[in-house]
Each structure stands twice: as structure tokens, then as C-alpha cells.
């Protein structure tokens, strides 16, 4: 059973709602002028939510990296061997320049 309360009720009875959430392992939806604004949830549920958000963030980053890899692979598939050698040489030169101390 989800409990729905107003902001003013929450101000007056926050401690009671926290105890209710803890004892009943249920959520309390806080409404402001009839619109849901926030939810008090058990901390274990919050930890699960944070884990799910992190998994989602990591998956999005992985998906983006895979798209980049596919784009690079497609672009490189059209590159001639001489162009690939020139690009590799340029990358090596830039890397060496960036690693060398500036005098």
C-alpha cells in the first residue's frame, strides 16, 4: 500500500512517515497541490535504484563507445594502406612530441 500525503502533512509528521516506511517497507508519495513531487522510500530500495542508475550510465557509455568504434571501423575500411601508414606515423609523432619534455 502506497501512502500519499501532502507537503504540509509531511512537515508535521515526517518522523511518523519515516517510521511507517521503515516498518512497512512501503513508499510515501509527497504531493504538492495535488501533484506528486517526491517519494520517501526505504534506504535499501534507494541503494538498488542507485545501482540501477549506475548500470544504466555504464551501458550508455558502452553503447556510445561501440558506436564510435563502428564509425571508425567503417571510415578506416575505406582508407588505403598508404593513408593508414601516414595516419599512424602522424599519431606516433604527436605522441612523441607530447611525451618529450619542453626545453
C-alpha distances in angstroms, 11 versus 15, 27, 46, 69, 76?
9, 17, 21, 52, 61
Would you say domain 3-41 falls under CATH 3.30.460.20?
no
pLDDT tens for each residue of 42-93 = 999 999 999 999 999 899 988 888 888 888 888 777 778 788 788 888 888 8
Decide: 58 and 52 in contact? Cβ < 8 Å.
no
Return the pLDDT at 101: 64
Task: Give me 19's grid cell.
Answer: 517510521
More confident residue, 24 or 82: 24
Instruction: Please count the residues of the chain.
Output: 103
Residue listed under C-alpha cell 599512424: 88
CA atoms within 13 A on the CB side of 11: 5
Amino acid at each position: 500500500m502506497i501512502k500519499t500525503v501532502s507537503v504540509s502533512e509531511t512537515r508535521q509528521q515526517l518522523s511518523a512517515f519515516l517510521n511507517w516506511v521503515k516498518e512497512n517497507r512501503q513508499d510515501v508519495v509527497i504531493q504538492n497541490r495535488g501533484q506528486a513531487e517526491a517519494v520517501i522510500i526505504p534506504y535499501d530500495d534507494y541503494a538498488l535504484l542507485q545501482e540501477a542508475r549506475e548500470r544504466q550510465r555504464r551501458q550508455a557509455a558502452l553503447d556510445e563507445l561501440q558506436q564510435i568504434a563502428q564509425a571508425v571501423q567503417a571510415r578506416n575500411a575505406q582508407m588505403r594502406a598508404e593513408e593508414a601508414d601516414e595516419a599512424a606515423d602522424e599519431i606516433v609523432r604527436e605522441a612523441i612530441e607530447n611525451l618529450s619534455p619542453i626545453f
